[in-house]
Amino acid sequence: MRLAGKVALISGGARGMGAAEARLFAREGAQVVIGDLLEAEGRGVEAEITAKGGEAVFARLDVTSESDWQRAVGVAQSRFGRLNILVNNAGIGGGARIEDTTLEDWDRMMAVNATGVFLGTKSVIAAMRRAGGGSIINISSQLGLVGTDNSSPQYQASKGAVRLLTKATAIQYAREGIRANSVHPGPIVTPMTERRRADPAQRQLMISRIPLGRYGEPDEVAYGVLYLASDESAYVTGSELVIDGGWTAQ
């Protein structure tokens, strides 16, 4: 088991990539805290994991709330005794040109996608220090590396911010054994991409930009996150793991 003896907190763990990560981590021996606002779905993932002999607990988590983060970290420590891994997975998407984007839209997405990662990172440092180190994995996007014409400016800006915050974290805490890396998925089959996938023209446009010719699956991202969470990546920090079907290779 690649995560035996480790405790992980995953934001946005109730569905999509976060749920895939939670299930995979549990299969690999981790004790998992599923953080999300979607309580029914989060408790469903918890029940699924425990029914298969794993250990998991749901914690209500609004990633824009510092007190929610503190409570979620507290759940990990009180239930499992420590915290070794954080996956900042929660995020929201959208599409609009700059001139059609409201300040409210901008602020909301930056609060979830960028500030949420900052608050999560800030909230786990002390716990990871007590544990003797840890791994922080921040889910960015291929659009945190390159621009595109059919995504919102705030989405791309927020995901670019995640990339640089990850590097700052890696540098500041490397001497304490706390690693930080970002993962950059391309289009993945999740609830976030459902509307675009349901539109034949939009789906074909997206697929035309992916050299592998298809959307990725949540497990294909989860296995990359697993590597960064495990001791197999002990010499990896401040890096980007791109899982995008070749989008950024063009």
Tens digits of per-residue pLDDT, 189-222? 998 888 888 888 889 988 999 999 999 999 999 9
pLDDT in tens, 168-194: 999 999 999 999 999 999 999 998 888
CATH number of the domain encompassing residue 69 = 3.40.50.720
Structural domain count of the chain:
1
pLDDT in tens, 91-109: 999 878 899 999 999 999 9
Range 188-197, long-range pairs (CB < 8 A, 24+ positions): 188/16, 188/17, 188/215, 188/216, 188/217, 188/218, 188/220, 188/221, 189/215, 189/216, 189/217, 189/218, 190/15, 190/16, 190/17, 190/218, 191/15, 191/16, 192/16, 192/91, 192/92, 192/93, 193/93, 196/95
DSSP reduced 3-state for 4: coil
Beta strands in 167-239 (DSSP E): 178-185
Question: Is 2 a member of any domain?
Answer: no
Percent of the chain with pLDDT over 70: 100
Question: Is 122 a member of any domain?
Answer: yes
Question: Is 168 a member of any domain?
Answer: yes
The DSSP secondary-structure symbol of 16 reads: H
| CA separation for the pair 244, 188 (Å, rounded) | 8
Question: Is 247 a member of any domain?
Answer: no
Range(s) of the domain holding residue 214? 7-241
The predicted structure's pLDDT at residue 60 = 98
Question: Is 179 a member of any domain?
Answer: yes
pLDDT in tens, 62-89: 999 999 999 999 999 999 999 999 999 9
Question: Is 250 a member of any domain?
Answer: no
Question: Is 155 among the catalytic positions?
Answer: yes
pLDDT in tens, 34-65: 999 999 999 999 999 999 999 999 999 999 99
| CA separation for the pair 237, 36 (Å, rounded) | 26
Distance set, CA 2 to CA 56, 121, 168, 207 (Å) = 17, 23, 27, 33
The predicted structure's pLDDT at residue 195 = 82
Question: Is 1 a member of any domain?
Answer: no
Question: Is 12 a member of any domain?
Answer: yes
Q: Which of 155, 215, 223, 235 is catalytic?
A: 155
